[in-house]
Amino acid sequence: MQQVNGFRVVITGKGGVGKTTLTSCLARLLGQRGVKVLAADEDPQMNLPYALGMPPRQAAAIVPLSQNPDYIEEKTGARPGKSFGALFRLNPVVDDVVERFGVHVDDNLDLLVMGTVVQAAAGCLCSENVLLDSVLNYLALREEEAILLDTQAGVEHFGRALAKGFSQCLVVSDLSFNALAVARHAAELARELGIARIHLVVNRYRDEVRDKLQRFAEATGTNTDRLFDVIHTLPGESRFEDLEPDVTRILGQESAYVAALEGLADDMLAFERQRQDPSAADLKQEGSEG
Ligand SMILES: Nc1ncnc2c1ncn2[C@@H]1O[C@H](COP(=O)(O)OP(=O)(O)OP(=O)(O)O)[C@@H](O)[C@H]1O
Ligand SMILES: [Mg+2]
């Protein structure tokens, strides 16, 4: 396989639509294809370690960066909660963060649990936020890995440094009006931030995807073709219920979900190859119709 340099993907969408399931399966799948992956968890609920199959005791012991006052103080000079009025470093150097806090999952996969600051006010300038923003900026500089950032529900986190260096956004949704409305908002923000390829990933689809999307587009005046560069569909996978929390075990099995995920991974990698080397083969325009 033609190698692809590091790239960064943010996974977003309404609560419960399948972001963490997708992130974990995609992380393993890319790893199996020889891509070095760093999966980053920005959700305060920290589901990703479990979804990646980490033993529950080990997963429960992970302390997210946002709740590591010693590291935050070491780097920013201010202890969380005590930073009001204090002087702290706005651009701390955090190039040791993966080495110190990354968890080795397998040969091609590491995990970094970041956590999210509970926002007192949007863009609050407290030492936790400064630290997490610096970590995101630092991740954007790592050349060797594909970084998959699983996020909490909603789109609030897009306001910060998060999108810097992120070339792709997977907007996960089901076909409900509410989920599509969140997806639309997320895609608009991702566009504004200059993320180059925005995927709509319709998860657990049941029937006519195009019809439902069209109905949503007409009702809301949305141009889905302009909003999303590509639309993928992932079928419902009843075995997830039995496999939970380690849903990545589905990769060893015959599954329409996995087959569709392969198509999504193909698309992402083809895009990156072309972005990194525009003289490379033309990008496939169609998404995977699982
Ligand atoms: N394609 C699918 N088929 C069947 N079940 C699925 C599918 N995708 C996800 N699920 C199930 O849906 C539930 C929610 O999935 P998941 O935790 O990945 O969503 P999420 O978007 O990360 O949620 P949250 O917003 O709470 O972080 C889980 O029980 C998961 O196993
Ligand atoms: Mg999740």
DSSP alpha helices (H): ranges in the chain?
Answer: 19-32, 48-51, 56-60, 69-76, 97-101, 127-139, 177-192, 209-220, 224-227, 240-243, 256-276
- Nearest-CA residue for atom 16 of ligand 1: 18
pLDDT tens sequence across 19-38: 999 999 999 999 999 999 99
CB of 178 closer than 8 Å to CB of 8 = no
Q: Is the pLDDT of residue 123 over 60?
A: no
- Structural domains in the chain plus CATH codes: 7-276 (3.40.50.300)
Please tell me which residue, 264 or 119, carries the higher pLDDT value.
264
Q: Is the pTM of this model over 0.75?
A: yes
Q: Is the pLDDT of residue 122 over 60?
A: no
Q: Is the pLDDT of residue 276 over 80?
A: yes
Structure tokens at 116: 């999210």
Average pLDDT along the chain:
89
CA of 207 to the centre of ligand 1 (A): 19
Share of the chain above pLDDT 90, in %: 69
Atom of ligand 1 at shortest distance to CA of 14? 25
| Residue to probe by mutation, ligand 1, list 17, 21, 202, most atoms within 8 Å of CB | 21
Determine the pLDDT at residue 289: 44
The CB of 194 under 6 Å from ligand 1? The reply is no
Question: By mean pLDDT, which of 45-49, 79-83, 283-287 is the weakest?
Answer: 283-287
Grade residue 158 by pLDDT with cuts at 50, 70 and 90. low
| Residue to probe by mutation, ligand 1, list 232, 240, 246, 251, most atoms within 8 Å of CB | 240
CB of 190 closer than 8 Å to CB of 163 = yes
Other beta carbons within 10 Å of 72:
26
Residues measured by CB to lie within 5 Å of ligand 2, the ion:
19-20, 47
DSSP alpha helices (H): ranges in 119-255?
Answer: 127-139, 177-192, 209-220, 224-227, 240-243
Determine the pLDDT at residue 287: 46
DSSP of 11-45: EEESTTSSHHHHHHHHHHHHHHTT--EEEEE--TT
The CB of 20 under 6 Å from ligand 1? The reply is yes
